[in-house]
Amino acid sequence: MVNKLFLFLILLPVLSLFPQEIKVAASTDTTDYLIGDHIKYHLVINTDKNVYIINPFFRDSLKNVDVVSISDPIVSENEKGKTTKFESILSRFDSSQVTIPPIKIEYRITGDTTLMSVLSNPVTFNVHTMKVSMKEEIKDIKPPVRLFNYLFLIYIGIALLIVVIGYFVYQKYFKNKPKPIIETKKEKILSHQLALRKLNQLEHEELWQKGFVKEYHTRITEIIREYFEKQFDLHALELTTTDSLKQLSKHPQGVKVLDITSQFLNNADLVKFAKFTPLELVNREMMVQAKEIVTKTISVQKEVEVDEVVNVS
């Protein structure tokens, strides 16, 4: 009994990394369409809150239909978990029975770099031609409607007037205007100092407070990825989050910040790719984590060169 309890306590942290539940349901708004109709294809994924869905590649599985549009995913949360909805508009110009095969959904769990997947259900519907009644009388084709009128000439006149006004404004205010002379010099600085300088500047701009949440998360992760490149010689700007974490785990200094970096990058991915709207607490915590990643790895002293503006005239 003691051995079983000891084994359960060891496995408990591992088991908590896996989601309690993930359900995928694919469907169309009906099963009967005419040739050329818009076919709404829905994909709904219900997961726990700690699951991050990687946007699936629909076009690879929708080869037997024409793809009109694929909308961005809509993510919503409640006390029971998280729902991610994808919607695509399809069409087909040949009558037949069509089956959309299962869609592969890849996902990760927050705090774990393992990539997992699940398949949706296949969806079948019929596309047919319009039924024609042979008993009805054939009607004449309506004559063409004449669209040309004087409004066309008015639009041309307005466009010419705008061009003339723009030309005179350019001649008066912009042409031959002296361009500012900017002189720069090379400045040597330690990579961690450069990263902290950029983070402080980003914090001062207050992007997320002004509503630019996605831009804030994009900028802050670029600063950290650039820091990894200069500090650890990792190609972090070109790698996915999963690959970046794998490379970081192989570096003796990178291991120190592997867990916090995983949480930091996964939270940013939710905002940038899954349209997730974070709480203010998460936005503040992102800056705290970014500075902690830098300060915990300053034992590696890497010097870099940056351009510094010294004169503007």
DSSP state letters, 206-251: TTGGGT-HHHHHHHHHHHHHHHHHHHH---TTTS-HHHHHHHHHTS
The pLDDT value recorded for residue 17 is: 42
Strands 32-34 and 123-128: parallel
| Highest-scoring range by mean pLDDT, 132-136, 219-223, 308-312 | 219-223
Mean pLDDT of the chain: 80
Mean pLDDT of the 62-89 span: 86
- pLDDT at position 215 over 70: yes
92 and 25 within one domain:
yes
Do the domain assignments include residue 79? yes
Q: Is residue 123 domain-shared with residue 192, that is, in the same domain?
A: no
| Assigned domain for 38 exists | yes
Q: What percentage of the chain carries pLDDT values higher than 90? A: 13
Same domain, 202 and 113: no
Torsion of CA 189, 195, 199, 202, to 10 degrees: 70
Query: Do residues 306 and 191 share a domain?
Result: yes
Same domain, 192 and 305: yes
pLDDT of residue 12: 42
The pTM for the full model equals 0.41
Domain of residue 45 covers: 20-128
pLDDT, position 9: 43
Count of structural domains, the chain: 2
CB 85 within 8 A of CB 43: yes
User: Where among 91, 108, 128 does a domain terminate?
Assistant: 128
Residue 64 counted as domain residue: yes
What value does the mean pLDDT take over residues 253-273? 84
The residues, any chain, with a CB within 8 Å of residue 312's CB and separated by 6 or more, are 180, 181, 182, 183
CATH of the domain at 24: 2.60.40.740
> Is residue 103 domain-shared with residue 215, that is, in the same domain?
no
Same structural domain, 107 and 223: no
Question: Of 128, 147, 168, which residue constitutes the final position of a domain?
Answer: 128
What pLDDT was estimated at residue 14?
Answer: 41
Of the two residues 312 and 36, the one the predictor is more confident about is: 36
Q: Which residue has the tokens 């299962």?
A: 102
pLDDT tens figures, 1-34: 545 444 444 444 444 444 447 889 999 999 999 8
Residue 225 lies in a domain: yes
The reply to whether 266 falls in a domain is yes
Output the pLDDT for position 19: 42
Check pLDDT > 60 for residue 271.
yes
Query: Are both 32 and 102 inside the same structural domain?
Result: yes
Same domain, 300 and 235: yes
Same domain, 288 and 189: yes
Q: Is residue 136, in this structure, part of any structural domain at all?
A: no
d(CA 97, CA 61): 16
pLDDT of residue 137: 66
Contacts of 92 (CB under 8 A, 6+ apart): 33, 35, 36, 39, 64, 65, 66, 98, 127
Over residues 117-133, the pLDDT tens digits come to 888 899 999 998 876 55
Domain membership of residue 158 (yes or no) is no
Higher pLDDT, 177 or 238: 238
| End-to-end alpha carbon distance in the chain | 81
Q: Is residue 164 part of a domain?
A: no
Q: What distance lies between CA 64 and its chain's CA centroid?
A: 27
Higher pLDDT, 57 or 157: 157
